[in-house]
Amino acid sequence: MIPPHLVSLAGGIAIHLLFSAWIDLRAVTTAPPKPSVQTQFVLDAMAHTASQDDRHREQVMESLDLIFARMTDIGSTQQQLRAQVELNTQAMHQYGEEHQILQQKLDSTAHAVA
């Protein structure tokens, strides 16, 4: 059986060797070759499409901003209308009560005269 301190030493050496080999491979890596004409055509088309997508996304975002601004205006207007309807409802309720009181007075006066 291998003593534990040698196992950990062997493991450390193995990791060191793997890491060294990886560093050596990175040192020899060369730049990728120049893309072919067909690949460059596809890359250019993709770049053009991405540019169009960006412009379209900006237009959509501007439109959404305008829609949200308009919805905020509509919400404010709706709140104002709701407040006016509430005031009109209160006024009509008060008018109804006053009308009922006047009707009672008119009936009392008619009975007293008759």
Domain presence at residue 69: yes
Q: From first to last of its 114 residues, what are the pLDDT tens digits of the chain?
A: 445 544 454 555 555 555 555 554 455 566 678 888 999 999 999 999 999 999 999 999 999 999 999 999 999 999 999 999 999 999 999 999 999 999 999 989 988 887
Range of the domain at 104: 4-27+48-113
DSSP state of 114: -
* Structural domains counted in the chain: 1
How many residues in total does the chain contain? 114
DSSP label at residue 1: -
Residue ranges in the chain assigned as alpha helix (H): 4-28, 37-113
Whether 68 maps to a domain, the answer reads yes
Does 34 reside within a domain? Answer: no
pTM across the whole model: 0.47
